[in-house]
């Protein structure tokens, strides 16, 4: 829950280390160059207000203690199920808060949709 560096950070960092600039028509990279954090013990990370994950038919978006999980139907490409979890709960992924907090579900779902548009090649 308190992880500072995730795998998605490394790609932009490796590009920077190698002196490689992404192609101008490449989709937005999913991550940030974390060399400043590595180089200075006083550097502050402000990159992770929102985290996005995707694997198999699933996706997740996290903002603060809230995490929205979604499942995609492979045939339609549409999200078929979502569950909202509070990571501050003692067992955070046991109970879903989807019905109790529809505004949070809507906000996180929109964040996911925006992210997906940004990182999907056109």
Mean per-residue pLDDT over the chain, rounded = 86
Residues with Cβ within 8 Å of 86's Cβ and at least 6 positions away in sequence, in order, are 65, 66, 67, 92, 97
DSSP string across 42-55: T------SEEEEEE
pLDDT, tens digit, 9 for 90 and up, residues 18-42? 999 888 887 777 777 888 888 888 8
When comparing pLDDT for 111 and 37, which is higher?
A: 111
Residue 49 confidence (pLDDT): 79
Residue 23 confidence (pLDDT): 83
Residue 7 confidence (pLDDT): 53
Residue 103 confidence (pLDDT): 98
Query: Is the overall model pTM greater than 0.95, yes or no?
Result: no
Distance CA 121, CA 65 (A): 30
């Amino acid at each position: 829950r308190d992880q500072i560096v995730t795998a998605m950070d490394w790609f932009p960092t490796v590009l920077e280390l190698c002196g490689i600039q992404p192609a101008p028509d490449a989709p937005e990279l999913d991550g940030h160059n974390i060399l400043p954090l590595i180089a200075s013990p006083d550097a502050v990370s402000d990159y992770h207000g929102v985290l996005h994950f995707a694997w198999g038919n699933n996706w997740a978006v996290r903002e603060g203690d809230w995490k929205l999980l979604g499942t995609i139907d492979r045939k339609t490409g549409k999200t078929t199920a979502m569950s909202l979890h509070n990571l501050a709960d003692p067992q955070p992924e046991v109970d879903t808060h989807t019905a109790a907090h529809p505004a949070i579900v809507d906000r996180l779902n929109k964040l996911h949709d925006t992210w997906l548009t940004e990182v999907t090649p056109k």
